[in-house]
Amino acid sequence: LVASITALMKIQKLQDKEPESTVDTILLYFSGFFLIVYSILEILVGTNASSQEEHISSGIQALNGIISVLSTMAQMIFLNMLMTKGVFGQRDESKPGKSSSSEIYSGRQETAFLTLLNFSQWLIFTFELQKGMASRTEAEYFGEFTWVLIQRITLPLSVFFRFHSTVILIDAWKNNYKANEAQ
């Protein structure tokens, strides 16, 4: 969440460009919607604790869901903005205030960090969340069959969101930060 907001503020300094692909945007928002649905269901389970012993872990689960919703929304906004920004043309060392590469390539480190973060979350979603023991609380709340059905619908698209976000970030890191060095 913090990385997405920081990166969003930093890429405001980049030049505008025409968006290249609306398909990426559609896929991003479609799969992001299902990740948000999954997180809202997690909030729902966390806010309905049945006993005092479960209250603390349910509060953590609800907080995790809230942070997940906010970070997914911030990341979708960041990725949409990143697809319309970049560094283009010749690097001009004579302009005042543009002497450091951190200002010219504003947001590049945050983009690399978010790439690694999304890749690690993709690994977790792919190999850990699909295990039955990873979501016992949700299965108890919704019922075993209903929760399996919800997972079979939302998890593949949540996995796709993380993978597609990683691909968009790698592509943006590679292509949006090109500037020819002045000879």
* pLDDT tens track for 100-154: 555 556 677 888 899 999 999 888 888 876 665 567 788 888 888 898 898 888 8
φ, ψ for residue 16, nearest 5 deg: -80, 150
Strands 15-16 and 85-86: antiparallel
pTM above 0.85, yes or no: no
Q: Quote the mean pLDDT of the chain.
A: 79
- Least confident interval from 26-35, 56-65, 129-138, 144-153: 129-138
Rounded Cα distance between 64 and 35, Å, is 13
Once rounded to an integer, what is the mean pLDDT over residues 35-59?
Answer: 80
38 in Cβ contact with 142 (< 8 Å): no
